[in-house]
């Protein structure tokens, strides 16, 4: 049995933290430890207690004085957009047409797909992200390459090939039947294989014909346990175009409702400009609004109203994500920093504890995977990030004035990035320090 005992300051959330002083919302041990055995968390608590449980001869990795948290979860990200990130000067629809779609055509080449999948997961791990909900390109082989790479690393992913059969160049189009058949084959090959899960992925209403939307609905009916991921209400021109394409619909959300795509495993990227009716429809179905702050700022899409959605009579389930390559950083710390600023522009604040709840347990609950990841609870998978709040000279200096855990977390979010990620464990194995630096 492979065992490893991590010593450090352990932090795991129990529920939503109401304020920066909400001590009951988390479990924290100043001299804490996590015992990992065969890819799972076997015990967590004070070092003295866990070391006794671990028994003699167990290898100890001393991470003191760093923080040990559950690995971060990125709830919406595009694998084929690593070479799209930082493309200048366009709003959503032009950005897709000018940069994104041409780049995604390259993923017809399986070798290219495998190379980018490898570099993508390396980049995720370097930044402390251990689980992603990812979009691959339209090509079946791009999803195969991604799942193969994730499976080799024993990394949990939720992913799918995008279904898209109109309003894009021919190199990124499939057909209704082709997208159905490819999705079926990918589900059969990959869903439930190790830690891989398939997500039915119609890109968005604009790039699917009604026939393809029907196919996506059929897949959802045939596989009710699968996630569905798509985009909703990101940009005003996008919303207007959906109304031209589906003139019968009450609003953008109604299109997905009509085709049976709204449910408690539906991840809807962006959801910035929802009407009250649309927000009600999401709340009633249990669908998840995925907040992608760096992307929304970069593309000038708008300000996601996090607290409006949380506090309404029928609250929305919310996740957060990078949305690389519309998003501008792989780091979930950088993402929550921008989330804080977007929320500030809406006249509110997100308390630092809530931020880290969201990154870990909150995103896991939104993705319905909190039985496996997002906490340090015994029995769950040992996906862990180790953070150093003194990673840079500027952070080190600022730490001289820090008195509370919440302040330290806020500093890590405001100034931190991959440099603050000391180590990452994926299913109990060190994954950052063991990475090939030449890769």
Residue 121 bridge partners (DSSP): none
Given candidates 118, 140, 203, 273, which one binds ligand GUN under the rule CB under 6 A?
203
- Indicate the residue among 173 and 268 with the shorter CB distance to Zn ion: 268
- Indicate the residue among 78 and 390 with the shorter CB distance to ligand GUN: 78
- Indicate the residue among 45 and 293 with the shorter CB distance to ligand GUN: 293
Contact 398, 411 (CB under 8 A): yes
- Fill in the per-residue mask, 284 to 313: x = in contact with ligand GUN (CB under 6 A), - = not in contact: -----------x------------------
204 binds, among Zn ion, ligand GUN, none (CB under 5 to 8 A by kind): ligand GUN
> What is the widest separation between alpha-carbon atoms in the chain?
69
- DSSP characters for 331-366? -HHHHHHHHHHHHHHTT----HHHHHHIIIIIHHHH
Q: Which of 163, 48, 128 is nearest to 412 (CA)?
A: 128
Q: Which of 302, 248, 257, 301 is nearest to 278 (CA)?
A: 257
Residue 134 vs residues 111, 158, 312, 345: alpha-carbon distances, Å = 19, 6, 29, 28
Given candidates 7, 63, 78, 334, which one binds ligand GUN under the rule CB under 6 A?
78
Element (H, E) at 52: helix 47-54
What number of other Cβ atoms are within 10 A of residue 409's Cβ? 25
CB of 163 to ligand GUN, least distance (A): 12
285 binds, among ligand GUN, Zn ion, none (CB under 5 to 8 A by kind): none
113 binds, among Zn ion, ligand GUN, none (CB under 5 to 8 A by kind): none
Contact 350, 306 (CB under 8 A): yes
- Indicate the residue among 261 and 389 with the shorter CB distance to ligand GUN: 261
User: Cα separation of 135 and 199, whole Å?
Assistant: 9
* Residue 139 binding ligand GUN, by CB under 6 A: no
Site for Zn ion, residues 247 to 286, rule: CB under 5 A: 269
Which residues make Cβ contacts (< 8 Å) with residue 401, sequence separation at least 6?
none
CB of 253 to Zn ion, least distance (A): 17
Exposure string for 34-65, b = 16+ CB within 10 A, e = fewer: bbbbebebbbbbebeebbeebeeeeeebebee
DSSP 374: S
Q: Which of 323, 346, 320 is nearest to 413 (CA)?
A: 320
Q: Which strands sit side by side in the sheet containing 72-78, from one edge to the other? A: 72-78, 129-136, 156-163, 196-202, 227-232, 266-270, 288-291, 317-320
- Indicate the residue among 328 and 375 with the shorter CB distance to Zn ion: 328
- Fill in the per-residue mask, 314 to 343: x = in contact with ligand GUN (CB under 6 A), - = not in contact: ---------x--x-----------------
Q: Which stretch binds Zn ion (CB under 5 A): 10-18, 171-179, 317-325, 327-335?
A: 317-325
* Residue 167 binding ligand GUN, by CB under 6 A: no
For 95, the 3-state DSSP assignment is helix
Residue bearing tokens 């991470």: 63
CB of 100 to ligand GUN, least distance (A): 5
Q: Which stretch binds ligand GUN (CB under 6 A): 11-19, 64-72, 92-100, 337-345?
A: 92-100
CB of 126 to Zn ion, least distance (A): 21
CB of 315 to Zn ion, least distance (A): 23
- Indicate the residue among 94 and 284 with the shorter CB distance to ligand GUN: 94
Given candidates 10, 12, 25, 100, which one binds ligand GUN under the rule CB under 6 A?
100
CB of 327 to ligand GUN, least distance (A): 8
* Residue 352 binding Zn ion, by CB under 5 A: no
Given candidates 234, 337, 381, 408, which one binds ligand GUN under the rule CB under 6 A?
234
- Indicate the residue among 17 and 269 with the shorter CB distance to Zn ion: 269
* Residue 231 binding ligand GUN, by CB under 6 A: yes
* Residue 149 binding Zn ion, by CB under 5 A: no
Q: Give the binding site for Zn ion (CB under 5 A).
A: 269, 323
Q: Give the binding site for ligand GUN (CB under 6 A).
A: 78, 92, 96, 100, 203-204, 231, 234, 295, 323, 326
């Amino acid at each position: 049995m492979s065992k490893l005992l991590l010593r450090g300051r352990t932090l795991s959330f129990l529920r939503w933290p109401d304020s920066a002083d909400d001590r009951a919302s988390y479990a924290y041990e100043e001299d804490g430890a996590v015992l990992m055995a065969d890819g799972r968390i076997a015990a967590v608590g004070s070092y003295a207690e866990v070391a006794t449980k671990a028994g003699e001869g167990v290898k100890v990795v001393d991470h003191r004085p760093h923080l040990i948290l559950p690995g971060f979860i990125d709830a919406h990200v595009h694998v084929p957009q690593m070479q799209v990130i930082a493309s200048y000067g366009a709003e959503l629809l032009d950005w897709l047409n000018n940069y994104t779609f041409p780049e995604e055509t390259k993923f017809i080449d399986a070798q290219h797909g495998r190379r980018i999948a490898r570099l993508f997961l390396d980049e995720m791990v370097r930044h402390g992200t251990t689980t992603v909900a990812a979009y691959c390109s339209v090509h079946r082989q791009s999803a195969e390459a991604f799942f193969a790479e994730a499976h080799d690393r024993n990394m949990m992913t939720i992913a799918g090939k995008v279904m898209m059969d109109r309003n894009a160049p021919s190199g990124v189009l499939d057909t209704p039947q082709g997208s159905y058949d490819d999705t079926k084959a990918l589900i059969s090959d990959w869903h439930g294989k190790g830690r891989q899960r398939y997500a039915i992925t119609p890109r968005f209403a604009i790039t699917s014909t009604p026939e393809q939307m029907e196919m996506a609905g059929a897949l959802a009916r045939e596989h009710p346990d699968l996630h569905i991921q798509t985009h909703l209400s990101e940009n005003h021109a996008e919303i207007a175009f959906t109304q031209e394409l589906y003139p019968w619909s009450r609003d953008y959300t109604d299109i997905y409702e009509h085709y049976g795509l709204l449910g408690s495993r539906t991840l809807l990227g962006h959801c910035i400009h929802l009407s009250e009716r649309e927000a009600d429809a999401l709340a009633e179905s249990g669908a998840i609004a995925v907040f992608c702050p760096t992307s929304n700022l970069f593309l000038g899409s708008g300000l996601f109203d996090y607290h409006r959605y949380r506090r309404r009579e029928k609250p929305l389930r919310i996740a957060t994500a990078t949305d690389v390559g519309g998003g501008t950083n792989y780091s979930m710390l950088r993402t929550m920093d921008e989330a804080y600023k977007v929320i500030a522009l809406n006249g509110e604040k997100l308390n630092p504890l809530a931020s880290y709840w969201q990154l870990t347990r909150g995103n896991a609950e939104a993705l319905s995977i909190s039985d496996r990841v997002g906490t340090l609870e015994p029995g769950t998978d040992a996906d862990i990030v180790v953070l150093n709040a003194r990673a840079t000279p500027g952070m080190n200096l600022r730490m001289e004035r820090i008195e509370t855990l919440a302040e330290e977390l806020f500093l890590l979010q405001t100034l931190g990035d991959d440099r603050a990620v000391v180590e990452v464990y994926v299913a109990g194995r060190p994954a950052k320090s063991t990475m090939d630096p030449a890769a």
